[in-house]
Amino acid sequence: MTEPLYYSHSGQTEFHAAVLEIRPGKNGCSVILDKTCFYPEGGGQPSDIGTIHGLPVQDVKKENGHILHVIKGDKGDLPFAEGDTVTGVIDPDHRRDYMEQHTGQHLVSAALLKEVSLGTVSVHHGKEYVTIDVDREVVSREEIIRVEDAANRVIRENHPVEIRWVDEAEAGSFNLRRQPKKGGRLRLVLIGGYDAAACGGLHTGFTGEVGLVKWTGMEKIRGCQRLYWKIGRRAYLDYREKTDVINTLNILFSSKLKELSDRAGKALAEQKRLLKEITRIQNERSRMLAESLFGRSREEMGKRVVTYQFEGEDAGFIRKTLDALISRGRTVVCFVNVMMDGSFTWFIGCSEDEEIRFNDFRSEILPLIGGKGGGKPPLWQGVGRNPGTIGIFLNTFSSFCHKGR
């Protein structure tokens, strides 16, 4: 049997203990001590983190009255043996965090029931949030505010959090918030007449130590509503992070907190309007350019071959121009778009009533620019490596198409 120190001395973070047994296992060894501060995983609460004899503890589990500390490595490689005394240290911040989470969750679940008649279906203690699933699909913002206010009031009133072990019969005299899952000896957590629940987790000594609980969001899950909560120092850190984000946004939008949503909404609406306007102008520009290129192109036997070199143009605009040209029929097009850094892309298109034998084209013309790429009618595209030969490439394309090869 391992004596759990975490219940009697929940503030203790360092301890000395005798090694009773070392069990070899698949993922390292399980070390059993005569006593421990390490809280084992259970009841939705993760285990403590820390070290034994300086070695990181990977996991802590409870098994038949023993508490197993999982440590990496083979039994023979460990720097201690059965019968030795070792020093264990748990991470005090991690422990305090989960004590705050547990007490805060009791308060929120109690407030949910008392204030808005919502029962807690399940709880998950995550690294970022505590989630509480409640037995109703729709929860209003007004209800959440009532719950938040009530839980924070009980925190500020700084009630003692009392732990009492009782047997099943005794438990009936307490007005427990929920039916205990198991019978026998029960560990009750009593919060100043506000809440009573059976729980095996670790809690703060007073509600005031929780500091703050804050609801941050919700989502519908299988007929329940899942509520997300930031509790304790996490709520404070969340407040700090959100203040930083809001201050940055206030600078960007030259606004104050109360005007921020309105300003951001207006800025987005304006952006939408401008994008629409840009699209309209771009369409008009590509239509005009297509018309001018068509007019300037050489016609042979009713077929037009259009070539053009763009400089750092938007690919969408090039596609629009190309589409406008090939929609006229009896037209083939070759565009090159040279970027500032000298890299370039090429585009080839042909109208429905024309044909480009791309395989011939690939072997005869693409090597001129060190080009790669492909496609299928009506569009082919790719990249090139030699910007110095783009002129030759476009002229060769022209004569290649006019020859009808």
Q: Residues interacting with Zn ion, by CB under 5 A?
A: 102, 199, 201
The residue written with tokens 């049997």 in the block is 1
Alpha-carbon radius of gyration of the chain: 36
Rounded Cα–Cα distance for residues 183 and 308 (Å) = 84
103 vs 396 by CB, closer to Zn ion: 103
* Angle between helical axes of 233-252 and 92-116 (0-180°, round to 10): 80
Distance of closest approach, residue 106 Cβ to Zn ion, in angstroms: 6
- Closest approach of Zn ion to the CB of residue 177, in Å: 11
Residue 37 CB, shortest distance to Zn ion, in Å, is 18
- Measured from the CB atom, the residue of 176 and 260 that comes closer to Zn ion is 176
- At residue 38, φ and ψ (nearest 5 deg) are -70, 120
- For residues 169 and 239, what is the distance between their CA atoms, to the nearest angstrom? 44
Query: Nearest approach, Cβ of 184 to Zn ion (angstroms)?
Result: 18
Cα-flanking dihedrals φ and ψ of residue 72, to 5°?
A: -65, 150
Closest CA to 299 of 328, 325, 327, 331: 331
The least distance separating Zn ion from the CB of residue 211, rounded to whole angstroms, comes to 17
Pairing of the two strands 379-384 and 331-338: unpaired
Residue with tokens 């190309």: 322
Output the residue with the shortest Cβ distance to Zn ion: 199
What span, in angstroms and rounded, lies between the C-alpha atoms of 136 and 125?
A: 20
Separation CA 349–CA 327 (nearest Å): 10
What is the smallest separation between the CB atom of 202 and Zn ion, expressed in angstroms? 8
